Amino acid sequence: MVTKPLGVILAGGQATRMGGGDKGLLELGGQSLLARVIDRLSPQVDGLALNANGDPMRFDGFGLPVLPDTIPDFAGPLAGVLAGLDWAAEQGADTLVSVAADTPFFPHDLVARFQDVAQGQAHPLVLAATKGEAKTKSKSKSGLIRHPTFGLWPVALRDDLRAALEDGLKKVVLWTEKHEGREALFPSGDADPFFNINTPEDLVRAKDML
């Protein structure tokens, strides 16, 4: 029987293109981005935490444990994944799913698809992917666009990830490819389900997408 993983929402970025602050606290259709992400991910996982740096009290209203990066100097999303993996290990979990706090439209079947793709893997490791053209996304050897903040991660490899980050690793896919990570293909249709809000213009577009 496949059990649900735990989940971590990555909100540790500096939001420079949005002028700083917490993108997850921006309002979209009368609800914060973070609240929308929590509502979408909660039914898919057995427990949820938030990765964020700075004063955790600003997230008190969400009722989630707040996990700061353990790797200094804003080492990127993998530092947030590592914080989540350490927390998941304390909870006795085998796997963790990560999502981004600025991406409110990700699929309702995200976790189920990850688990389907991970079948047969000794260490379940899967990134979300879509077809199409994008200048700022990471393309894989298969030609798919990878969305590396959305992944299924094995708790068993957290010390390997820690060592890689301490050695200066920044790019997610360099680590996932080393460990034979797979890709879960999601349909994109007319709108990218992994559309993320980086700029004020993106926020306007997201309101139209609602």
Q: What is the pTM of this model?
A: 0.92
- Whichever domain contains 187, its CATH number is 3.90.550.10
Closest listed residue to residue 144, CA positions, set 98, 181, 115, 101: 181
Residue 172 has pLDDT above 80, yes or no: yes
Does a structural domain hold residue 144? yes
What residue numbers bound the domain in which 192 lies?
A: 6-209
Does a structural domain hold residue 1? no
What's 120-188 look like in SS3?
Answer: CCCCCCEEEEECCCCCCCEECCCCCEEEEEEEEEEHHHHHHHHHHHHCCCCCHHHHHHHCCCEEEECCC
β-strand partners of 128: 147, 184
28-67 per-position pLDDT tens digit? 999 999 999 999 999 999 999 999 999 999 999 999 999 9
101-116 per-position pLDDT tens digit? 999 999 999 999 999 9
Residue 15: partners with Cβ closer than 8 Å, 6 or more residues away: 21, 22, 23, 102
The encoded tokens of residue 128 equal: 């979300």
Judge whether 130 and 194 are in contact, CB under 8 Å: yes
Residue 177 has pLDDT above 60, yes or no: yes
What's the domain count of the chain?
1
Does a structural domain hold residue 118? yes
CA distance 41 to 176: 22
Count CB-CB contacts under 10 A for residue 92. 8
